[in-house]
Amino acid sequence: RREQARLRAGVLEEDTEPWQKEPQFSGLHRVGGVDLSYSKGDESRACASLVVLSYPDLEVLYQDCRMVPVTAPYVAGFLAFREVPVLVEAVQRLQREEPQLQPQVLLVDGNGLLHPRGFGIACHLGVLTDLPCIGVAKNLLHVDGLVRDELHKEQVRSLQRSGEAFPLTGTSGKVLGMVLRSHENSSRPLYVSVGHRVSLGTAVSLVRACCRFRVPEPIRQADIRSREYLRR
């Protein structure tokens, strides 16, 4: 908790890059996605995957999949201590070996500010790499009074078209993220939250722009490739 609080002080919740303020993000050329896939029955090893896609074409420019040891246990609210170290190593490897392909933003399968202490895995990875990061979760984390009750389900049903969204406001009054219908063909929403060096509005717009399917392509490709690596 102390370490999370210390790093939390470094989170920037606003747009810091010129491309974030441009129409259609015209200065954005590379979007990264990260994922960890675990071997069945072996929680001590995982495949860490980092991909970089072109933007707006969403073609894979770079991929790095490798087996890594996972030493920290899973503890709810502290996932980052288990997964972030190997993801930071993957980013640093890319910066050393293919610096021209460094992503201008990272999409992370998990939460950012939408977290019991306002410091989810997307914040943690963002602060340690100093890259803009966005949290994209598939399920609602029950925090600050947010629950998947009938009212929430009704609000989700009200999202009729791709790109429609509504804010997640906790009982504290703070907006912790947005619920986004990311694709016409999926009524299941995404939960988007700020990780680092990005505003919530920019985060939602970019996630929507990266969705060919329900899950944004950088995360989807990282997941596909890590699972394929494990199968092989």
Domain boundaries in the chain? 1-231
pLDDT tens by residue, 200-228: 999 999 999 999 999 999 999 999 999 99
pLDDT band, very low/low/confident/very high, at 180 (cuts 50, 70, 90): very high
What was the pLDDT predicted at 43?
A: 84
Helix (H) or strand (E) holding 126: helix 121-129
Helix (H) or strand (E) holding 195: strand 190-196
Reduced to 3 states (helix: H, G, I; strand: E, B; else coil), residue 27 is coil
Average pLDDT of the chain to the nearest whole number: 96
pLDDT band, very low/low/confident/very high, at 40 (cuts 50, 70, 90): confident
Whether 76 shows a pLDDT value over 90: the answer reads no
- Over its C-alpha atoms, the chain yields an Rg (Å, rounded) of 17
CA distances from residue 144 to 84, 147, 169 in whole angstroms, order as listed: 24, 9, 9
Whether 162 shows a pLDDT value over 90: the answer reads yes
pLDDT band, very low/low/confident/very high, at 193 (cuts 50, 70, 90): very high
pLDDT band, very low/low/confident/very high, at 120 (cuts 50, 70, 90): very high
Tell me the percentage of the chain whose pLDDT exceeds 70: 100
Spatial distance between the Cα atoms of 38 and 24, rounded to a whole number of angstroms:
36
If phi > 0 it is left, if psi is from -120 to 50 it is alpha, else beta; for residue 45 that is beta
pLDDT band, very low/low/confident/very high, at 93 (cuts 50, 70, 90): very high
CATH number (2.60.40.1180, 3.40.50.720, 3.40.720.10, 3.30.2170.10) of 1-231 reads 3.30.2170.10
What was the pLDDT predicted at 42?
A: 86
Spatial distance between the Cα atoms of 115 and 4, rounded to a whole number of angstroms:
11
Is 0.85 surpassed by the pTM of this model? Answer: yes
Name the packing angle between helices 79-97 and 121-129 (round to 10°): 40
